[in-house]
A and B are shown apart, each in its own frame.
Chain A
Amino acid sequence: MTLNDQIDKLMLAYQNGDDAVLDQIYMMLRQPLYSFIYRYSRDEQLSIDIVQDTFIKLQRHKHDYNPDKGKLKSYLFQIAYRLMVTKLNRRKKWRNLLPFLTPSEAEDFHHSDRIVVRDAVTKLPGIQRAVIILFYYHDVPQRDIATILEIPKGTVKSRLHAAIQKLKQELEVEDYE
């Protein structure tokens, strides 16, 4: 039984009234959700808020999840992605109205290599960034990425290809194919 199957089994128990298993689900999915949001936004507080809001939404609408439609992990990634996009758009609107609310950049410059990779990923356009993060760091199948980001599977493929080409260019990686 894979980890995702275990999580789905716990979710089934949660839907059937065993509230104690929610903590286990949280412990198993907190890390992937946080790292997905963080790699996308590079905002620690926003990532924490989104993970917490995702679990609030799961608790409020626990019967909305249907295991026949996909894994719980993908379902929560979809909720988190929607919440993050809404929050980032709202934040962008406020910053256009009140530009002085824009936070100052506070980055650590201790690991130059890591920063190059971070910057290269951050520079990617939104959808390409989300696709490469889900595909490479979270092993999400392309079909599930399409569901999470609400785009056609063909778009996932093209965005993934474009993201890889851009990353190669940014990171000056030679093509060894």
Chain B
Amino acid sequence: MSKDPLKNNHHLQKKLDEYHVNIPDFPMKPNRWERLINLLASPTRDPLEPFLSTSGGLLLLKLAPIMGAAIIAIIQMLIFL
């Protein structure tokens, strides 16, 4: 191997040595069910958060189901009446 580029960088080596990793205990064979549960249980961002932060967005969220129901009712009236 060529000359170690980190040889004279003792301070950088010291900093890098502070990066420890804790190894969890896990088996060699994966458990598909456990993987699915972990995927479903992983935390995600709230998709409605941008709406909740403004009063206009909050109002839109409240009105959206009413407007949706009204649109469906109109479509049904157009089809069946």
Please pick, from A52, A136, A143, the residue contacting B30 in the complex, using a CB distance under 8 A: A52
Hey, which chain A residues are within 8 Å of B44, CB to CB?
100-104
Q: Select from chain B the residue with minimum beta-carbon distance to A25.
A: B28
A44 to B38 Cα, complex, angstroms: 11
Q: Does residue B66 face the partner (Cβ distance < 8 Å to A)?
A: no
Interface residue B62 (Cβ < 8 Å from any Cβ of A): no
Contact, CB under 8 Å: B26 / A142: no
**Which one, B5, B8, B43, contacts A176 given CB within 8 A?**
B8
Q: Is A45 an interface residue (CB 8 A)?
A: yes
B52 to nearest A CB, angstroms?
13
User: Which of the segments A1-9, A11-19, A70-78, A163-171 contacts the partner chain?
Assistant: A163-171
Q: Mark A107-142, 1 if CB is under 8 A from B, else 0.
A: 000000110111011000000000000011100011
Contacts of A34 in B (CB 8 A): 21, 23
User: Beyond A45-B38, A173-B11, is A53–B30 a contact (Cβ under 8 Å)?
Assistant: yes
- The DSSP consensus for interface residues of chain A is helix
Give the interface residue-count category, chain B: 20 to 34
Chain B residue with minimal CB distance to A35? Answer: B21
Question: Chain B contact residues: over half helix, strand or loop, or mixed?
Answer: loop
The chain A residue sitting closest to B21, CB to CB, is A35
Contact in complex: A177, B18 (CB < 8 Å): no
Is the CB–CB distance between A117 and B21 below 8 Å?
no
The answer to whether residues A56 and B1 also contact, given A104-B45, A113-B18, A117-B16 and a CB cut-off of 8 A, is: no
Contact partner, A171, options B2, B12, B23, B38, Cβ 8 Å: B12
Q: Is there an interface contact between B1 and A117, defined as CB atoms closer than 8 Å?
A: no
- The CA-CA distance from A53 to B10 in the complex, in Å, is 37
Shortest CB distance A173–B (Å)? 5
Residues of B within 8 Å of A118, CB to CB, are 19
B6 on the A face (CB < 8 A): yes
Q: Return chain B residues, CB-CB under 8 Å to A49.
A: 30, 35
Q: Interface code B14-55, partner A: CB below 8 Å = 1, 0 otherwise?
A: 011011110110111110000100100011111100000000
4 cross-chain pairs, A with B, having the tightest CB-CB distances, nearest first:
A100-B47, A52-B30, A35-B21, A117-B19
